[in-house]
Structure 1
């Protein structure tokens, strides 16, 4: 083979590896984007729940324990 043919094969090989790497990176980015969307939604729901609890602490299910007797009585 001539030197130019070897260089062409080398370039084609590199391009093939780069295309494969780009496809893999695209898959990772797509998965990360889906995770970010899900995490943002969870954070939004948690913030909403915290706001609700701040407005009405009785929703938390906690009772006022200041008048309760300790368990050892």
Structure 2
């Protein structure tokens, strides 16, 4: 194999490793954000349940309507 091809392969292998690291990190961040979102939705549902007789926030019209 020529020297140029070996350099290209080495570059591509390094880029692949870097991209793999990014994807792994982002996967962890997405999982954490998904857990936080579920927690917040549960917390808000609990608040809405405590406010018996009111229209749930998701069903309310925005104030500018």
Q: Return the TM-score normalized by structure 1.
A: 0.67
Aligned partner of 1:49 among 43, 50, 60? 43
Deviations 1:18-42 (A, max 9, x none): 0000000100110000000000000
> What does residue range 23-34 of structure 1 map to in structure 2 within 5 Å?
23-34=17-28
Q: Return the TM-score normalized by structure 2.
A: 0.75
Aligned positions, number: 51
RMSD over aligned CA atoms reads 1.1
The structure with the larger Rg is: 1
Distance 1:20 1:54 in 2: 51
Moved segments of 4+, more than 6 Å: none
